[in-house]
Chains A and B, each alone.
Chain A
Amino acid sequence: MTAYMVPLVQWVAATHVSAYLRTVTWLWPFCETLHFIGLAVLVGIAGFFDLRLLGFWKRVPVSACKEFMPWAMVGFALNLASGLVFLTMFPAQYAYSQAWWLKMLFLFIAGANALFFETAMGARMVALGPGEDSPVVFKAIGAVSLVSWFFVLYFGRMLPYLGDAY
């Protein structure tokens, strides 16, 4: 895996952008701060929605709880942007880290799961009456989402300890 990455990593690290960003001393702590605020916004809103899918607040329509999701996307966008800065500055510490690839895997699962709900569950969401128990598929989607976001956070925070990123 990592052998294929070498030319790409070397190319990114050698770009002017990467070299310039590494000279901006406040940028790293600044992006780390944004990354954690974005994390909270994303995980909190997604978690709230997942709990609804699991059967919490049954009288509240699922579609009403979903109205918070654009703000979860704002949190995600914040983390994508700050994450790309990290990756551009020091590509090697991520591309060669197993923990980082596991983080990407769980990010992919969380994304695919959300996309599946978005594209295939719309009719069932509207049909679900207030107070009715969540269908099993909703509970499964909620559980997969909670678990996969947990592991995104886990492998992200563990990057310095499961590998040598900082």
Chain B
Amino acid sequence: MDSFLAWLQNLPVFVTIAESASIWGYPTVLMLHTVGLGWLVGLNTVVNLRLLGVGRRVPFETFESLFPMMWWGFWLNLGTGVILFCLDAGHKAHQWVFWAKIVAIALALLTLQRERNYLFRSGEFPGGDFVPAKAKRYAWASLTLWWIATATGRLTAYIG
């Protein structure tokens, strides 16, 4: 496993990015990872705040179009995230806080899809002023999981 990680990290493309002094190398990849995070987690916060009672005058249908936008943020971060992992594979793969982040993201994505199905595809969600307890549980689960993903992601710079 370690030899695979070393091979990955030593691929010329990743060595070039890691060692480049250019602002368009590693710093830009890292910056884009933060843009994707803000977009995905931020729009997710808007939808979940609505379920928890904020902005009641905004009809629920409005938020259906936010889900594809959240996925743009996700794909950007998957792309930049894979690059960031490869640049530092030997280290990242041994950081527990990195794996905690991956698990949190997996659970958050699962929740995101289930929440979306429940709100817009199941026909179960009433969509009026009354928000059922089930929807509020989705909102809290989703908010909490993305906060954990953000926190553990940021902490990979400091722990382990």
A residues in contact (CB < 8 Å) with B: 28-29, 32-33, 36-37, 39-45, 47-48, 56-57, 59-61, 63-65, 67-68, 71, 150, 153-154, 157-158, 160-162
Contacts and interface: CB of A to CB of B under 8 A. Distances in A.
A44 B55 contact: no
A36 B150 contact: yes
20 contacts: A29-B159, A36-B150, A40-B37, A40-B38, A40-B146, A41-B42, A44-B38, A44-B41, A45-B46, A47-B42, A48-B43, A57-B62, A57-B65, A60-B57, A60-B58, A63-B57, A65-B58, A68-B49, A157-B27, A158-B27
Interface string B52-70: 0011111100100110000
A68 B46 CA distance: 7
Contacts, number: 108
Interface in B116-160: 146-147, 150-151, 153-155, 157-159
A57 B69 CA distance: 14
A54 to B, nearest CB: 13
A163 to B, nearest CB: 11
Interface of B: 23, 26-27, 30-31, 34-35, 37-46, 49-50, 54-59, 62, 65-66, 146-147, 150-151, 153-155, 157-159
Contacts of A67: 54-58
Question: 9 closest A-B pairs (Cβ-Cβ)?
Answer: A44-B42, A64-B57, A40-B41, A161-B27, A43-B38, A29-B158, A67-B55, A157-B31, A40-B42
Contacts of A161: 23, 26-27
B38 A37 contact: no
A99 to B, nearest CB: 10
Given A44-B43, A154-B31, A33 B151 contact: yes
Given A65-B55, A67-B58, A32 B31 contact: no
Contacts of A154: 31
A56 B62 CA distance: 9
B39 A44 contact: yes
Given A61-B57, A67-B55, A39 B38 contact: yes
A40 B145 CA distance: 14
A68 to B, nearest CB: 5
Contacts of B30: 157
A30 to B, nearest CB: 9
Contacts of B151: 33, 36-37
A47 B57 contact: no
A90 to B, nearest CB: 15
B46 A48 contact: yes
Contacts of B57: 60-61, 63-64, 67
Contacts of B158: 28-29, 32
A44 B155 contact: no
